Structures are given as structure tokens and as C-alpha cells.
Amino acid sequence: MANMYFNNEKKLEEVEDLLKVADKALCTSSPILTGKNSASAAVGAAIGGTIGAAIAGGGLAALGTAGAAMGGASLIGGSALAAGSAVLFAPIAIPTLLLGGIGYLLSKNKKEKELHNQRIAKYNKVVEKQNKIFEAYKKEKEKMEKDYERTKSENEDLKAKVREYELIFEALKKQREKFEKDLKVA
């Protein structure tokens, strides 16, 4: 068991903290990784490395700084992927036979069996939450893209309208100048 990451109940408690963060994120439309808080700490600890430390220390704002250091990449699934990728990650299926059957048979004693069963239960919860987060992510990303297209379209319309005003103003100015010239002559 020395090579296993989740080799004790304390490590499983870290997973429980992350599951609580996922629940909280799913229950609000506002960002929860704001500044240095327990949610940022749990996510940062799970991601690990420099990026994880940045998130744990400052939430999403720190991720912007760390993301800039990564060349504008975004984090999905604990790895850096180019922003705008069509498929960032897909829902995860639970390999029940591998975890449940074989692992249980290989467990040597009651305490190890209990810890193994706890790992399986936490794994199943992690997969379930990850799938829910993925679905919420897809929905919000789609909404964001639609809003972006709508805003982009409205912005193009506004730019066209401003240009239209500029052209009409210039045309009126030229006509006014012609009138002023004529009126000076008369």
C-alpha cells in the first residue's frame, strides 16, 4: 500500500472536501474560487504543482496570472490544454469490475478491505461529481458562446451604426459647407 496515494482515511477526507466544493459550485452561478478560501485550497491541493499552489493562494484571480505564464492555456482535468479546444474532456465511465471485483479479492485483511471499499465509494462519488461538473460546464460554455456571438453581432451592428453616423455627418458637413459658400456669395 506504500505506492498508493489514497492509503489512509485522511487522504480520503481531502476528496470529500473537493466533493463539497463541487456541490457548492453546482449550486451557484457565481464563482466560488474567489481569493484564498477553503474551496480554492481544496481545488489547488487536488490539482497540485505551481498552478495548484496559485489557485490555493488566490483562487481564479491567481489562475489568470498562472494561466498567463502558461501562454494562455486553460486547465481541464488537471492538464493544460489550448483554450478553445473543441473537446476538452469527456464524462468518465466507472470501471466497476476493475475496482470492485479484482481490488476486493486482492485485499488482505479487514482493515485493508474497509479502506478499499472507502476508496471505491469515493471514486464513484468523484466520477459522479465530475460528470455533473462536466454537464454544467458544457451548458455554461454553450451559453457563453451564444452570448459572445450575440454580443459580437450586436457590437458589429453598433460599429456599423457608428460608421454610418460618421459618414452621414461627413456628408451633411460637406453639404453645409456648400450652403455656407453659396450664402457668402449671395
Q: When comparing pLDDT for 90 and 34, which is higher?
A: 34
- The cell numbers describing 108, all together, are 488482505
3-state secondary structure of 91: coil
Whole-angstrom distance, CA of residue 151 vs CA of residue 122? 42
Question: HSE on the CB side for 144, CA within 13 Å?
Answer: 8
**pTM for this prediction:** 0.58
* Lowest mean per-residue pLDDT among 24-28, 31-35, 94-98, 175-179: 94-98
- Average pLDDT, integer, range 18-44: 85
CB 37 within 8 A of CB 59: yes
- The cell numbers describing 86, all together, are 473543441
Average predicted confidence (pLDDT) for the chain: 74
Please check the confidence at residue 27 and state whether its pLDDT lies above 70. Answer: yes
From the number of C-beta atoms within 10 Å of its C-beta (0-12, 13-18, 19+), residue 132 rates as middle
* Lowest mean per-residue pLDDT among 26-40, 73-87, 156-170: 73-87
Whole-angstrom distance, CA of residue 109 vs CA of residue 93? 29
What are the tens digits of pLDDT across the range 75-87? 444 443 333 433 4
Please check the confidence at residue 106 and state whether its pLDDT lies above 60. Answer: no
Angle between helices 9-26 and 38-47 (to 10 degrees): 120
- The cell numbers describing 35, all together, are 481569493
